[in-house]
Amino acid sequence: MIHDFTVVWTERSLMLSGLANTVILSVLSAVCALFLGAMLAMLLLRRNKAPVVAARVFVDAMRCTPFLLFAYIVYYGLPSLGISFDNWSSGLLALIIYNTAYMAEILRGAAASQPPQPVEAGMAFGFSGFGLYRRIVLPPLILSAGPVVGNQVIQIIKDSAFLTIIALPELTHAASSIQSRHYVPFAAFISAVLLYWALCLVVETGVTAVGRRADARR
């Protein structure tokens, strides 16, 4: 068994490049999904009907679609409509679109538990439209939703493993290559799990930092 882990160690450069790709995918899609989710949440919080309904339908559709299936659709399905991307673009796009819906829903939920008076004060002081949202509405939402956003980032990291099916050379893909090359499945997969775990610890540290800022304001 120890020998198996030594084999994985000799393949560490493959493992690390897989880890690097997982980090790149996760960070890019988390940042983009949070940004786009914040924009979408602005729509969800609007009072006028049509955009709300459209945003609502999108969010619910994403939340009820398994991510693996969605990644299949983007990579294998869209080309039959004449839209095709390489595996990197498809993977990133799938992660971003899918998680935008989640982030929007998280922020909308956080808005429901915020007192309305500060926003009203924003309006009374001349804020409106995007400025009102960006300066007055959104910052408290991000602070209060910090832990839930963190959970979603962990979900993104784990979902990125599915992208191995479209041959994206991320961490799971690397572990899988190592096990098939050397037939050390347990050692290869456990090593990958430990690396995923380390990533999650980093995310949790970030969440704690946001939580400290939120507590100072509570």
CB of 128 to other proteins, least distance (A): 4
- Name which position in 78, 93, 122, 147 contacts other proteins (CB under 8 A): 122
Q: Which two tokens stand for residue 211?
A: 């939580």
Contact letters for other proteins, residues 96-115 (x by CB under 8 A): -------------------x
Residue with smaller CB distance to other proteins, 39 or 93: 39
Q: Taking CB under 8 A as the criterion, which residues in 134-193 touch other proteins?
A: 135-136, 139-140, 143
Could you give the CA distance from residue 116 to residue 168 in angstroms, rounded to a whole number? 45
Residue with smaller CB distance to other proteins, 51 or 139: 139
Pick from 67, 66, 149: nearest CA to 108: 149
By CB under 8 A, is residue 129 in contact with other proteins?
A: yes
By CB under 8 A, is residue 210 in contact with other proteins?
A: no
Residue with smaller CB distance to other proteins, 82 or 115: 115
By CB under 8 A, is residue 39 in contact with other proteins?
A: no
CB of 127 to other proteins, least distance (A): 6
Contact criterion met (CB below 8 Å) for 143 and 214: yes
Could you give the CA distance from residue 170 to residue 160 in angstroms, rounded to a whole number? 8
By CB under 8 A, is residue 120 in contact with other proteins?
A: yes
Q: Which two tokens stand for residue 154?
A: 């962990």
Could you give the CA distance from residue 160 to residue 84 in angstroms, rounded to a whole number? 20
Contact criterion met (CB below 8 Å) for 37 and 185: no
Other C-beta atoms closer than 10 Å to the C-beta of 13 total: 9
By CB under 8 A, is residue 118 in contact with other proteins?
A: yes
Residue with smaller CB distance to other proteins, 144 or 172: 144
Choose the binding region for other proteins from 59-67, 127-135, 165-173, 198-206 (rule: CB under 8 A). 127-135
Contacts 24+ apart (CB under 8 A), 175-180: 175/15, 175/18, 177/14, 178/7, 178/8, 178/11, 178/14, 178/15
Amino acid letter for position 124: A
- Name which position in 112, 125, 194, 197 contacts other proteins (CB under 8 A): 125
**Site residues (vs other proteins, CB under 8 A):** 115, 117-118, 120-129, 131, 135-136, 139-140, 143, 216-218
